[in-house]
Each structure stands twice: as C-alpha cells, then as structure tokens.
C-alpha cells in the first residue's frame, strides 16, 4: 500500500533451535522477511509451526540461536534486559490471547500500567488511559475489574493497554483466540482502526485463516519456515465479497454467511 | 517506575493476600516484641545496677585511704597497711595522667548543740574547690565555702531534720533544726584529748550555715563539711585549749590526711589511673573495681536476653522469606506480563524488596506499640519474678526500680531493625523474581 514503505522490522536468517535431550528441534529455521511501517502483517500457521516463537524472537522475549532481528535498525537480539525493557516502553505494545490483565487492578489501572513503567506523571497517564478506553468503547467500564467484564471487553482493555503508550509496533498473539466470531470481528476491526489512525505497525500471529483478511500482508509459516508471503487486496472490500478459493475446508462456514469482506489472495507472490 | 507507584503497587499486593500478610506480620510483631522487651529488661537491670552504685559513691572517684586494705586477686582480705597521706603524695597523684582533681580529706568527729538538742556528727574537711570538682549536691540555702569566704559550714538537710535529739528526754525525742532560727554551737569531741583546765573549752557558734539537699549518695548525707583551711584554723584554736602533751598529738593529726579523693576524667580510665597509683606503692579503692565483675555478669545476662529476642526475630525473617517466595510463585505470570509491558528488572526487584520491608516495618511498628504495653505490665506485675532474676546478678536493692525500661531510641532502632530484617529476608526472593522470564506472559494456559 505505502508509496515507499520503510522497514521497521528486519528478520534476517533467523534460527531458533531447542534442544530436547540429544534431539535438535528447529522451531524457526532460517527465516528472513521484512515488515514495513504502518503495515498490518499476519503470521499465519498451524499450531507448532513456529509462528509464536518467531513473534517472541521479534519482541526480544526469547533469544535467537543465529541470525539477526533489527527493529528500527536496532539489533533487538543484542539488547540487555534493561535496554530491552526501555525499548519495549518506547516502541512495543502487546495484545495477548488470554488478555493478561492484572486481576487486582481496574480497567483504567491496567491500561495505565505501561505508562507507570514509563514514569509518565499520574495526571497525564490517567488522561491518556481514559482516552484510550473511550476509543475502545469502554468509557463506562473504567472502574471494573477484569473479572467483571466479558472476554471481548477484557480484550478491548488489553488493546487499550497495548496502544496507550503510542508504540510504533504492536505485537498481537492470537488476540481473538478466546473470543466468539462476532467479538472477533469487532476486536480485529478495532485493532486495525487504531493502528491505521496512528500509522502503527501490527504484527499478528494466528492460526485462523479467516483473520488474515484484516491484514495487509500474510506470511505463511510452516515447520519453522516461511512458506509464502501474500499481499491482501483491500480494494475489493467495497465490492461484493469475492470468495477466493480456499484450499482447505477449515474456513468457517459461518464466516462466509456473515458476508465477511476481504480476501486472501494466495496466488500473489511476495514483493 | 516512580516511587509513589511502587508503594501503591506494593501495598496493593500485600493487601490482596490479607491472611498471609497478616500472619507474616504477626511473626514480625512477636519477634519485635521479644527483642524490645529483652533489651528493655537488660536496660532496666543496668539502670538499677548503676543506681545502686551511685548511692554508694561516684563512679569516677578513686580513694587512697590511710588504712589500705590488701586484697588478693580473688577478693580475699589479707590485711591492711597504714599509708602516710601527706601533701607530697597529693602533688604526686596530681601528676598522674587522666586525673582531673585531687582533694585531701580530713575526717574527725564533733558535736553540734542547739538548745537542749544535740548530735554527734562526722566532720569532713576538704578544700573548697573540691565541692565543685567532686560534684557535691546542690544547696537548699547558703553557699559552699569559697577562697574569699571559707567560713561557711555545710550541713546536710537530712542531718538537720533527723539527727538532733534531746539526751535528757526519756526516748531521745528528736527535733528538726532550722538553722535560720535555731542557734547551733560546734564543739570537738570532749573525750579524745584532755582539756587544759586553765583555759576555756573551745566552742564555736556556727553563723554561716549552708544546707545541703538530700542526695542519693549516702556519703554526702552523712557528713558536716568544713573548708580545709578554715578547719585547720579552728582546729589550731581548739588544740591551744588542750593540755600541753595532747596539744602536740592533736596537731599531728593535721599532717596526715584521712584519705585522698581523686577524680578521673572518664569512667573508662578509672582502672588505668588506679594501676598507675598502685605503681607508686599505694593501695587504692574505687567503686569501679567492685562494679566491674558484677557488671560483666549483668552484661552476660543482657546478652542472653538479647539472643533470645534475636532468635525470635530470625524465625520471623525466615517467615518473611517464605511468604515472599510463595508470593513470587503465585505471581510468576504477572511478573512476566509486567516485563513484557516494559517494567525494568530493577523495578521488579524494588517492588518485592518494598513488600518485604513493609511487612517488616508494619510488624515492627505494631510490635513496638505492644512492647510498651508489655513493658508496662512487667513493671506493674512482674515484680517477684524479676526481683529474683536481678538478685542473681548482684543487684539487691531493687525496691521501686523499673524492670523494663524502653529508652527513646529503642523503638526507632527496633523499627529499623525489623525493616532491615524484611529487606534481607526479601532479597533473595526478589532476585529470584527478576529472573522470571517475560515468556511467562506468552503462555496461553490459565
């Protein structure tokens, strides 16, 4: 989409090898790709394909075995813990499958948390958190604890928390894994919208092909390798949704009945 | 993280497991109480100890007596030797290091008469400087003798109140004498030397009387004080009224002092000065030399008490560590989330240290408050038990003594100590918390 898109994440020949006894497991095997600024990128793969590991590597949560990962030109795999923490404060946001809200804190406090770590003054961060919660439609849920909210609402809090510090990159790990279809759609739209407004980059990991339609680009991962990279054509959105041939039957029938827009263009090759 | 946020988060974490936090704090409370009470009992013991010895004499004073006792290392009396205490010796002692003041003293006996009341008194003559140098008690009226006016005679209020009696009444009724109204006449003992019949017997109307307030030190209460020069003056007058052969004997008494008082600059140097003077060949005496072995016993007892308290505190430290470890296990995922959200490692550490310190401080403060209650109870009801305990360490006169004394610094020390224990006990759990990986947050279960 962008005119001259800038690379924010560069993954170069990354390997992650786990040792199980004498056996070596190549969770990520010689993977290289770039992610561009403002792009919604989806890592699609079945469970065990290594997509989550790849996300962890990009976020600096796990250490890679070999290769390089540059985020905004900084080698994230070389940063020490303190630098990494400061880097996360500044540039990274996270949305998790199981929301990962702190149970003892209210929605507002949860959203404030990244700003607390960032030493943002109390008044300012409170205002920022409120604004963010408003944006995700939880204006009247500020004082609610996570347990008092539905899954969808909790994930909205999670999204608000991920975006509140205005990070340039937000990682989302199966963000809709615990949600029903309707809520899934709402949540995905929300993520897309907020990211789009602020030109933020989204890296989402999922096994659900139907979610790929929200992405600008889909990177298919299989057995720790990049299988293909597809560009999704959003121009078709306005037209009557065109159901592209889906290779497998795992796609939800429900989804098609919903008339979900967008499609995954499998035939397109990577640029 | 800002300090205020750290506090808030720490307190929230403590309050979300109220029962566990409460029990751990209880442990610290017990530890603090036992330490504070044990120390306070030790201090109380020391106080009554010091008090007992203060009643017998000042702690920095050394004496050289005319009849020095010879005592072996085990404290057995082997005999005594007569020592000549003259002005030469006074000068010699003045040269010894750490000696602040030296005062030769002459003791004799005399009789005071007021109307039909009379009393035999011990008379003590010392240089007028010594009243200040040796910390004599304050006066209720009059003034101590000075270089300009050495005629003042100091009589303890206690003597005036209680000692004068009527020898011709049936049961020796006593009367309190008021020197402002009643006339007091002074005479030397009649029975020691023979009066020259051709001369009028010596008698002196005391015109300038200073009244000394009652002191805890009984030595002060038991003498009537004269300035040394004035004493020599009236003594010479007195000697002139004696028979010729007694006059010489009587005058010779002025040449040999009853004892020499030495004031040492610091209580720590008393033993050293004593050794220096003994090296000159004189036998010395001080309260310190009796106090020291007793003090050692008392110190020992205090240490034992302190150790009991410390033991209780150690148990509560282990308790805190256990609580923190449990808490970290429970919060593994939460810590992972915090890390992913950009929490610095050192903030994680601070958070846990703060929580541990808060447990310590909270327990410390409550423990201190309860310690005051316990201390009050001990002083009120613990008499019989502690009387026995103290007597075993050489303190007999416990009377109205306090058994448990909490000085102003003790609560601060105890609270600080409790907090320190918390931090120390929390240190390793906190370090463990920092090692928790951010990957915990990515796990999808639960």
DSSP state letters, B183-203: -EEEEE-SSSS-B-TTSPPP-
Q: Are B186 and B112 in contact (CB under 8 A)?
A: yes
Q: What is the pLDDT of residue A240?
A: 40
Cβ contact A100–B347 (<8 Å): no
Give the closest of B5, B12, B344 to A85, CB-based: B344
- Which backbone phi and psi does B365 adopt, to 5 degrees? -65, -50
Closest alpha carbon to A53 in A40, A39, A67: A67
Give chain B's end-to-end CA distance (angstroms, integer). Answer: 28
A-chain residue closest to B5, CA distance: A116
Q: Between residues A58 and A268, which one has the greater pLDDT?
A: A58
Does B119 score more than 70 pLDDT?
yes
Cβ contact A89–B342 (<8 Å): yes
Q: Are B241 and B200 in contact (CB under 8 A)?
A: yes
A-chain residue closest to B13, CA distance: A104
B-chain residue closest to A109, CA distance: B9
A-chain residue closest to B339, CA distance: A85
pLDDT more than 90, % of chain B: 17
Q: Between residues B290 and B149, which one has the greater pLDDT?
A: B149
Please tell me the distance from the alpha carbon of residue B419 to that of residue B437, in angstroms, as a whole number.
Answer: 29
- Which backbone phi and psi does A231 adopt, to 5 degrees? -100, 130
Condensed to tens digits (0 to 9), the pLDDT of residues B211-251 reads: 888 877 777 888 889 898 888 888 888 888 888 888 888 88
Please tell me the distance from the alpha carbon of residue A86 to that of residue B344, in angstroms, as a whole number.
Answer: 7
Chain A residue numbers with beta carbons less than 8 Å from the beta carbon of B16 are: 104
Give the closest of A52, A61, A85 to B343, CB-based: A85
Nearest CA of chain B to the CA of A168: how many Å? 14
Closest alpha carbon to A219 in A227, A207, A211: A227
CA-CA distances (angstroms) from residue A4 to A1, A91, A193, A195, B84? 9, 21, 21, 19, 114
Among chain A, residues having any CB pair with chain B shorter than 8 Å are 52, 56, 59, 61-62, 81-82, 85-86, 88-89, 92, 94, 96-98, 100, 102, 104-105, 113-114, 116-119, 122, 161, 165, 173-174, 177
Nearest CA of chain B to the CA of A17: how many Å? 16
Cβ-in-10-Å burial (0-12, 13-18, 19+) of B170 comes to exposed
Among chain B, residues having any CB pair with chain A shorter than 8 Å are 1-2, 4-5, 9, 12-13, 16, 333-334, 337-347, 437-439, 441-442, 444-446
Does A2 score more than 60 pLDDT?
no
In chain B, where are the structural domains located? Answer: 3-55+292-443, 103-255
Tell me the residue ranges of DSSP E strands in B146-267.
153-156, 184-188, 204-206, 209-212, 223-227, 259-264
Please tell me the distance from the alpha carbon of residue B44 to that of residue B217, in angstroms, as a whole number.
Answer: 20
Please tell me the distance from the alpha carbon of residue A46 to that of residue A31, in angstroms, as a whole number.
Answer: 17
Closest alpha carbon to B406 in B376, B363, B427: B376
- B158's CB contacts (< 8 A; 6+ apart) are B214, B221
Chain B residue numbers with beta carbons less than 8 Å from the beta carbon of A92 are: 342
Q: What is the pLDDT of residue A249?
A: 37
CA-CA distances (angstroms) from residue A207 to A11, A47, A195, A251? 21, 7, 21, 11
Distance of CA A26 to the CA centre of its chain: 23
Chain B residue numbers with beta carbons less than 8 Å from the beta carbon of A116 are: 1-2, 5, 9
In the sheet where A92-95 sits, what is the strand order?
A92-95, A169-173, A201-206, A40-44, A217-222, A225-231
Q: Are B164 and B174 in contact (CB under 8 A)?
A: yes
Mean pLDDT, rounded, of chain B: 84
Give ipTM to 2 decimals.
Answer: 0.82
Does B305 score more than 70 pLDDT?
yes
Candidates B21, B330, B350, B442, partner chain A, best to mutate (most A CBs within 10 A) = B442
Q: What angle, 0 to 180 degrees and rounded to 10, lies between the N-to-C axes of helices B345-381 and B3-16?
A: 60
Give the closest of A100, A161, A177 to B441, CB-based: A100
Over residues B296-304, mean pLDDT: 82
CA-CA distances (angstroms) from residue B60 to A167, B264, B266, B290? 75, 5, 7, 13
Please tell me the distance from the alpha carbon of residue A166 to that of residue A121, in angstroms, as a whole number.
Answer: 16
Over residues A177-193, mean pLDDT: 88
Over residues B67-74, mean pLDDT: 71
CA-CA distances (angstroms) from residue A180 to A133, A152, B439? 21, 8, 26
Nearest CA of chain A to the CA of B369: how many Å? 32
- Which backbone phi and psi does A204 adopt, to 5 degrees? -115, 140
Q: Which of A36-45, B109-118, B420-429 has the lowest mean pLDDT?
A: B109-118
Cβ contact A98–B446 (<8 Å): yes
Cβ contact B344–A116 (<8 Å): no
B-chain residue closest to A96, CA distance: B442
Does B443 score more than 50 pLDDT?
yes
Coil, strand or helix at B57: coil
Does A12 score more than 90 pLDDT?
yes
Nearest CA of chain A to the CA of B23: how many Å? 21
Cβ contact B438–A161 (<8 Å): no
The winner for highest mean pLDDT among B49-53, B68-72, B334-338, B366-370 is B366-370
Q: Are A217 and A2 in contact (CB under 8 A)?
A: no
Instruction: Count the neighbouring beta carbons within 10 Å of the beta carbon of residue B79.
Output: 9
Give the closest of B2, B442, B445 to A173, CB-based: B442
Cβ contact A85–B439 (<8 Å): no
Condensed to tens digits (0 to 9), the pLDDT of residues B397-431 reads: 555 567 788 889 989 999 999 999 999 999 999 99
Give the closest of B12, B342, B446 to A104, CB-based: B12
Chain A residue numbers with beta carbons less than 8 Å from the beta carbon of B340 are: 59, 61, 88, 94, 100
């Amino acid at each position: 989409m962008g005119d001259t898109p800038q690379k924010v994440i560069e993954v170069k020949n990354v390997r992650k090898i786990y040792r199980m006894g004498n056996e070596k497991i190549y969770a990520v095997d010689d993977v290289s790709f770039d992610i561009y600024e403002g792009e919604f990128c989806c890592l699609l793969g079945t469970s065990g394909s290594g997509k989550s590991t790849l996300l962890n590597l990009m976020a600096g949560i796990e250490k890679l075995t070999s290769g390089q990962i540059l985020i905004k030109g900084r080698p994230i795999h070389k940063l020490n813990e303190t630098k990494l923490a400061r880097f996360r404060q500044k540039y990274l946001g996270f949305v998790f499958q199981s929301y990962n809200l702190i149970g003892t804190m209210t929605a507002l406090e949860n959203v404030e948390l990244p700003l607390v770590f960032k030493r943002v003054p109390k008044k300012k961060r409170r205002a920022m958190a409120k604004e963010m919660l408003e944006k995700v439609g939880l204006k009247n849920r500020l004082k609610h604890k996570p347990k008092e909210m539905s899954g969808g609402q909790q994930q909205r809090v999670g999204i608000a928390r991920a975006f509140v510090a205005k990070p340039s990159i937000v990682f989302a790990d199966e963000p809709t894994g615990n949600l029903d279809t309707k809520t899934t759609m709402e949540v995905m739209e929300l993520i897309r919208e907020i990211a789009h407004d602020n030109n933020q980059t989204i890296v989402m990991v999922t096994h659900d092909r139907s979610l790929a339609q929200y992405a600008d680009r889909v990177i298919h991962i299989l057995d720790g390798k990049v299988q293909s990279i597809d560009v999704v054509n959003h121009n078709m959105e306005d037209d009557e949704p065109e159901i592209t041939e889906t290779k497998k039957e795992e796609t939800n029938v429900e989804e098609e009945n919903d008339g979900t827009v967008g499609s995954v263009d499998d035939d397109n090759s990577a640029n | 993280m800002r300090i205020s946020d750290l506090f808030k988060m720490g307190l929230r974490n403590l309050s979300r497991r109220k029962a566990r936090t409460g029990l751990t704090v209880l442990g610290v409370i017990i530890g603090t109480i036992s330490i504070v009470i044990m120390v306070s009992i030790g201090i109380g013991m020391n106080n009554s100890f010091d008090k007992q010895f203060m009643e017998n004499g000042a702690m920095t004073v050394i004496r050289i007596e005319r009849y020095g006792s010879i005592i072996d290392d085990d404290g057995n009396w082997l005999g005594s030797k007569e020592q000549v205490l003259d002005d030469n010796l006074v000068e010699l002692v003045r040269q010894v290091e750490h000696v602040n003041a030296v005062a030769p003293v002459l003791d004799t006996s005399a009789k005071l008469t007021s109307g039909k009341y009379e009393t035999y008194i011990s008379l003590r003559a010392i240089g007028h400087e010594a009243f200040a140098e040796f910390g004599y008690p304050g006066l209720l009226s009059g003034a101590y003798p000075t270089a300009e006016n050495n005629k003042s005679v100091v009589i303890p209020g206690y003597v005036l109140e209680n000692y004068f009696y009527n020898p011709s009444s049936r049961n020796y009724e006593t009367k309190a004498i008021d020197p402002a109204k009643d006339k007091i006449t002074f005479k030397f003992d009649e029975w020691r030397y023979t009066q020259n019949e051709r001369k009028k017997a010596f008698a002196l109307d005391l015109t300038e009387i200073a009244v000394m307030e009652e002191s805890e030190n009984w030595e002060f209460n038991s003498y009537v004080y004269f300035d040394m020069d004035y004493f020599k003056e009236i003594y010479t007058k007195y000697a002139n009224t004696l028979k010729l052969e007694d006059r010489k004997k009587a005058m010779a008494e002025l040449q040999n002092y009853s004892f020499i008082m030495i004031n040492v600059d610091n209580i720590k140097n008393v033993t050293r000065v004593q050794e220096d003077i003994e090296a000159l060949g004189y036998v010395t005496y001080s309260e310190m030399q009796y106090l020291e072995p007793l003090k050692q016993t008392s110190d020992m007892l205090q240490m034992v008490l302190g150790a009991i308290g410390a033991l209780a505190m150690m148990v509560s430290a282990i308790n805190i560590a256990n609580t923190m470890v449990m808490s970290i296990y429970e919060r593994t995922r939460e810590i992972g989330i915090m890390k992913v959200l950009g929490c610095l490692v050192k903030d994680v550490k601070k958070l846990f240290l703060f929580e541990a310190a808060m447990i310590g401080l909270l327990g410390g403060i409550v423990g201190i408050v309860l310690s005051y209650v316990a201390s009050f109870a001990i002083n009120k009801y613990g008499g019989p038990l502690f009387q026995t305990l103290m007597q075993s360490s050489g303190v007999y006169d416990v009377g109205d003594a306090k058994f448990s004394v909490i000085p102003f610094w003790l609560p601060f020390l105890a609270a600080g100590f409790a907090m320190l224990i918390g931090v120390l006990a929390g240190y390793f759990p906190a370090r463990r918390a920092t090692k928790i990986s951010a990957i915990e947050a990515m796990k999808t279960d639960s």
